[in-house]
Amino acid sequence: MTIGSTSTTQPAPEERDEAAVHEQLQQVQTLYPSRVVLTTYPSQLGIDPVSLNWGAKTPAERGPVVASRNQDTIGKRNAIGAGGGSYCIYRALAVAIGALAPNHRPDFRLTEPTHKIGPFGTWSDPEKIVSLDPWGHAVVEHFSDYTEQGVDVRPTIAITKAHMKLAEIDDAIAKGILKRDGDIVTENGELKVVKVASEPVWYLPGVAKRFGISEAVLRRALFEDTGGMYPELITRPDLQVFLPPIGGLTVYIFGNPEHIPDPTKRLTMRVHDECNGSDVFGSDICTCKPYLIYSIEECAREAQNGGVGVVVYFRKEGRALGEVTKYLVYNARKRQEGGDTAANYFKRTEFVAGVKDMRFQALMPDILHWLGVTRIDRFISMSNMKYEAIVGSGIEIVERVEIPEDRMPADAKVEIEAKVADGYFTTGAVHTGDSLDTVKGRNWDEIAH
């Protein structure tokens, strides 16, 4: 050893690894002092779920939806999954990094709905509503006795009001489509709206019946295709409610919400599925944003004429295939031999995703039944799947309204003509066979169509 040097003994690599593992275990035990519970079983000691009777006539008879796994509630859970829809993962991350206490209980004072909606008879009909909790907005009003006893009950619906400011609405006012009336449209051109946000709450027997499959098949598919994330889908057949980790929906109401179930008032409606590229950023490869803007104008105009307008916005990006899949399909469409044609529009989606559409509108009418809709006077949609789902659920549609020709981007002709050929509503001509090959989108490098 060199004179004047010092020597310290360093732990061996395996000792350092063991120390790091021990430290991590200590951190986990500090955050979660109880043992890991991978799943539960109906007859297990300590399992006593809060009574939940889907379709009961009153909230007291129905009971609250309880999904929390905190120490005080885990034995009382009557639902599989976690609150918050797809945002439950961010909540877990917030807990993991110490930004949120795992036992945090929300203070729901002053959060009550700004407007009263319902109740309607459909709320207690297990055939009409199976994908949302009809009492999900009324936790403070009807289930406070449970929260006072320490049961963690969370709202899954919120109702508020707001103003909307859109450049397109300024244009509509300038063109005389809408007028500043101080009621629906303010003097500075803002739209007054009532907004409803809803997270998914699935009554599994009803969802299975809606799709014509067995509940056992539904549970197994949900278990397998979420990577086994929810073992209680298999081990707890007594739990019939599932909170899936998917996006929810937002309702925008123009005019008085009390007019929605009123048969003497006209109702204009659009059911819109999310398209971030068009709705937010203005991509012109589809008609999503122009159709959405047109429907907002028509809904506001209906409200100004004494009726009511409703836009329902579902988080089903890229026909529920997702934005990554959608962009892969865009690439394939633009690169295929012969160019981007209506004839191959759906084929390219099927080549990538295996299916052309996964929105499956069977559950969509539930929110309409929650709103008390019985008749839609003007349905701003060309979708045959949406139309058939709504009418099949018992709601009358008087008039179907297609997107005006002058609102349609040139590159979106491929989409519309392919959809019309596949069954979408139109009052115009329908391309078939070889004529679909003549409907072609622009190439990437073309500035103009």
Concerning whether 357 is annotated as a catalytic residue, the answer is: yes
For residue 46, how many other CB atoms are within 10 A of its CB? Answer: 8
Regarding beta strands 375-379 and 396-400, do their DSSP bridges make them parallel or antiparallel, or are they unpaired?
parallel
Amino acid at 210: R
Structure tokens belonging to residue 321: 């295939």
Return the DSSP state at 135. T
Catalytic residue among 77, 359, 378, 400, which? 359
The burial of 64, by beta-carbon neighbours within 10 Å (0-12 exposed, 13-18 middle, 19 or more buried), is given as buried
Concerning whether 238 is annotated as a catalytic residue, the answer is: no
Question: Which residue is it, tokens 């009909």?
Answer: 125
The burial of 381, by beta-carbon neighbours within 10 Å (0-12 exposed, 13-18 middle, 19 or more buried), is given as buried
Task: Report the C-alpha gap between 55 and 127 in whole angstroms.
Answer: 8
Question: Which residue is it, tokens 């909307």?
Answer: 164
Catalytic residue among 152, 273, 279, 357, which? 357
Contacts of 16 (CB under 8 A, 6+ apart): none
**Omega within 30 of 0 (cis) for the link into 261:** no
Task: Identify whether the C-beta of residue 336 lies closer than 8 Å to the C-beta of residue 348.
Answer: yes
Q: What CA dihedral angle connects 410, 416, 421 and 427, to 10 degrees?
A: -90
By annotation, the residues acting in catalysis are 357, 359
